[in-house]
Amino acid sequence: MNFFKTFLASCLGSIIAFIVLGGIMFLLLLGMVASFSNSSEQVIVKNQSVLHLKLDGPISENEAEDPFEDLPIPGAVSTTGLLPLKKAIQNAAVDPKIEGVYLELSMLMGGYAVARELRQAIEDFKKSGKWVVAYSEYYSEAAYYVASAADKVYLNPEGDLEFNGLSVEVSFFKKLFDKLDIKPQIFRVGDFKSAVEPFMLDRMSAENKLQLTELITDLHSTLIRDVATSRNIEANRLREIASKMLVVDTRSALENKLVDSLLYFDQVQNELRSRLSLSANSKINFIKYSKYKRSIPSTSTSKNEIAVIVADGDIYPGKAQEGVIGSDTFAEELRKARTNDRVKAIVVRINSPGGSALASDVMWREIKLATEVKPVIASMSDYAASGGYYLAMACDTIVAQPTTITGSIGVFSVLFDLSNFLDNKVGITFEEVKTGEVGELITVTRPLTSAEKNIWQKRTEQIYEGFTTKAAEGRNMPVDQLKAVASGRVWTGTQAQAKGLVDILGNFEDAIRIAAAAAHVADDFKVKYYPVPKNFLQAWLGNMDETVHAKALRSELGPHYNTYQHLKKVKQMQGAQARIPFEMTIE
């Protein structure tokens, strides 16, 4: 009897494994077929079409091919690339088959510089004489900021709209570390370099509270001015509405003219039919962005290229990954662009809060070399701070949005002493043998000695001196003047321009125009993006080794795998960092 039980259990396990494996292979095959179909399919845009922009997923700078984005897969979320999205909107403005844009968004998963670029794309689209209609059941503050650029803004009668200003919340971990017997060993330069404050304090320092207050106040002023212009409402009135939170329901949103009407979805569709001169119940020819972008022909035959090298994510040494700017990959792309005769100018598109100081310097050097042979322009997105600013400061011209968060010219180093935690909580101890007075300088298994701490502080100060010296050289100002606006302090794009850290307030297209003019190809050029995003199959194959490795570790470590992952992240943050002093969300 036991034999048959074991036999049947084995058969059942094999059947389940076969089904799972078959499902994986089916999805892979489906992805490959869809990828090939997407790349070869000629999308035909019907007459009287409406471009449907449903922006409910993450927005990055560029986007990889996703063969599943048109398939109704539950829980699937596609990332939309800001730059190709703007290109689609620009094309729709001159496409005779596109009558208007239907904008649907409730939450915007991007920062306020991204939001402002989208607003400007919508405003430029309207200059063609075509219309933009926005509708949602709920508008977050950032989503409304974008939607307010539309000709008409509609809200569900039972929906909601957030319009009460900006706030920043910082998490502090000092008490947690105290309980766990973890001791951060911190070295920093700059009174405003507050990235390490959550490890050493339980509340904001006066300097950090000052810079964050001034930062969000300036950001909010820009948002108010933009909304005031598009909605034709006095800026002071908008400030009062936000400050006192006078919009608490849909009726107050309508009364305060933030929206044009309170409509249900079917009523919005009727309004669109009226704009299209369609009869009641007629089908509206909506075309989604994911399809419309494949209808845009690549018509440029110019031999002159503006290379856009996208730096999107945290900065680390090595190869680039999703959400990570790898210094090896970035440097390689810069070298290719520098030595390619077809490339007449380079635009470095930066959306980064910073990261490794060493990796930042490696990339700075490649940008510096490129500026010696052709124009290099920096285009700042949501963030170009600390290590992100390190990249920008080597460029000939820096272009930022007023809502870009930049600056943070400062350095910190942090190492976590886990010796008491590992001994008292886990039961693991360590002992070191060394040939000299100084042991391993990057370690979590023991506290640093006084001599080792002095070495770390000197290293940190040296990196800061190099950072500020190179920044002063790039900005053509005395080092003392540069240091007066450095010290790890963050600025908005508007503030940074006033301080001399930014040259021009503008968008990505402005940076492209500056680059083309500087290369004397303003009337004859094409734009190409690097590194080229991996398609589905490349990304899947590239992640296979990592996935197998992770599964092996999970099997070996069992319940301790999550602890390993946290320790790995702590390890990555150790050493000298040029990183923004806080993480800020747009809500």
Q: Are strands 314-316 and 324-326 parallel, antiparallel or unpaired?
A: parallel
Nearest residue to 414 (alpha-carbon basis) of 239, 177, 245, 230: 177
**E strand spans, 124-271:** 131-139, 152-161, 183-189, 261-262
**Greatest pairwise CA separation for the chain in angstroms:** 88
Tokens read off for 169: 């919340």
pLDDT value at residue 360: 96
196 is a domain residue? no
Give CA–CA dist 482/379, Å, rounded.
Answer: 21
Structure letter (DSSP) for residue 195: G
Nearest residue to 383 (alpha-carbon basis) of 227, 219, 223: 219
As for how many domains the chain has, the answer is 2
Which one-letter amino acid corresponds to residue 403? T
pLDDT value at residue 35: 47
Please say whether the beta carbons of 480 and 184 come within 8 A: no
Q: Are residues 406 and 312 in the same domain?
A: yes
CATH number of the domain to which 48 belongs: 3.90.226.10
374 is a domain residue? yes
Please say whether the beta carbons of 338 and 369 come within 8 A: yes
336 is a domain residue? yes
Coil, strand or helix at 572: helix
Helices (H) and strands (E) in the chain, counts: 21, 22
Residue where a domain stops, chosen among 238, 271, 295: 295
Q: Are residues 396 and 504 in the same domain?
A: yes
pLDDT digits (tens, 9 = 90+) for 218-277: 999 999 999 999 999 999 999 999 999 999 999 999 999 999 999 999 999 999 999 999
Cα separation of the two ends of the chain: 62
Is residue 316 packed enough to be buried (19+ CB in 10 Å), middle (13-18) or exposed (0-12)?
buried
Q: Are residues 159 and 288 in the same domain?
A: yes
Q: Are residues 399 and 256 in the same domain?
A: no
Is residue 23 packed enough to be buried (19+ CB in 10 Å), middle (13-18) or exposed (0-12)?
exposed
pLDDT value at residue 65: 64
Tokens read off for 47: 């007459």
Nearest residue to 95 (alpha-carbon basis) of 236, 272, 295, 284: 295
pLDDT value at residue 82: 95
- Bridge partners (DSSP) listed for residue 314: 324
506 is a domain residue? yes
Q: Are residues 392 and 488 in the same domain?
A: yes
pTM: 0.84
453 is catalytic: no
**E strand spans, 462-546:** 490-492, 504-505, 526-530
Q: Are residues 313 and 363 in the same domain?
A: yes
Q: Are residues 342 and 368 in the same domain?
A: yes
193 is catalytic: yes
pLDDT value at residue 191: 78
Give CA–CA dist 393/396, Å, rounded.
Answer: 8
Q: Are residues 325 and 271 in the same domain?
A: no
Q: Are residues 145 and 291 in the same domain?
A: yes
176 is a domain residue? no
Domain that holds residue 575: 305-413+460-542+571-579
CA triple 433-434-435, angle to 5 deg: 140
Nearest residue to 180 (alpha-carbon basis) of 560, 562, 563, 569: 563
Query: Along the 587 residues of the chain, how does pLDDT read in single tens digits?
Result: 555 555 555 555 566 655 655 555 555 555 555 444 444 466 889 999 999 999 988 899 988 665 555 555 554 457 899 999 999 999 999 999 999 999 999 999 899 999 999 999 999 999 999 999 999 999 999 999 999 999 999 999 999 999 999 998 888 999 999 999 999 999 988 778 788 898 999 999 999 999 999 999 999 999 999 999 999 999 999 999 999 999 999 999 999 999 999 999 999 999 999 999 999 989 999 999 999 999 988 767 899 999 999 999 999 999 988 889 999 999 999 999 999 999 999 999 999 999 999 999 999 999 999 999 999 999 999 999 999 999 999 999 999 999 999 999 998 888 999 999 999 988 999 998 989 888 888 888 999 999 999 999 999 999 999 999 999 999 999 999 999 999 989 999 999 999 999 999 999 999 999 999 999 999 999 999 998 865 545 444 454 444 444 455 555 555 544 444 445 554 455 556 555 654 544 34
Please say whether the beta carbons of 211 and 490 come within 8 A: yes
Q: Which residue is listed with tokens 């007449």?
A: 344
Question: Which of 126, 152, 193, 291 is the catalytic position?
Answer: 193
Give CA–CA dist 97/574, Å, rounded.
Answer: 55
pLDDT digits (tens, 9 = 90+) for 490-541: 999 999 999 999 999 999 999 999 999 999 999 999 999 998 865 545 444 4
Structure letter (DSSP) for residue 533: P
Sequence length of the chain is: 587
Q: Are residues 388 and 517 in the same domain?
A: yes
pLDDT value at residue 210: 92
468 is a domain residue? yes
Question: Which of 352, 356, 360, 386 is the catalytic position?
Answer: 386
Give CA–CA dist 240/115, Å, rounded.
Answer: 23
How far, in Å, are 92, 111, 290, 312, 434 from residue 123 at the CA level? 13, 19, 21, 25, 65
Backbone angles phi, psi at 189, to 5 degrees: -130, 125
- Write the CB contacts of 9 (distance below 8 Å, at least 6 apart in sequence): none
Q: Are residues 51 and 135 in the same domain?
A: yes
pLDDT value at residue 103: 98
Residue where a domain stops, chosen among 236, 261, 295: 295
Q: Are residues 280 and 333 in the same domain?
A: no
Residue where a domain stops, chosen among 262, 295, 328: 295
224 is a domain residue? no
- Write the CB contacts of 2 (distance below 8 Å, at least 6 apart in sequence): none
Please say whether the beta carbons of 215 and 108 come within 8 A: no
Coil, strand or helix at 300: coil
pLDDT value at residue 78: 72
For residue 120, the Cα-to-chain-centroid distance in whole angstroms is 18
219 is a domain residue? no
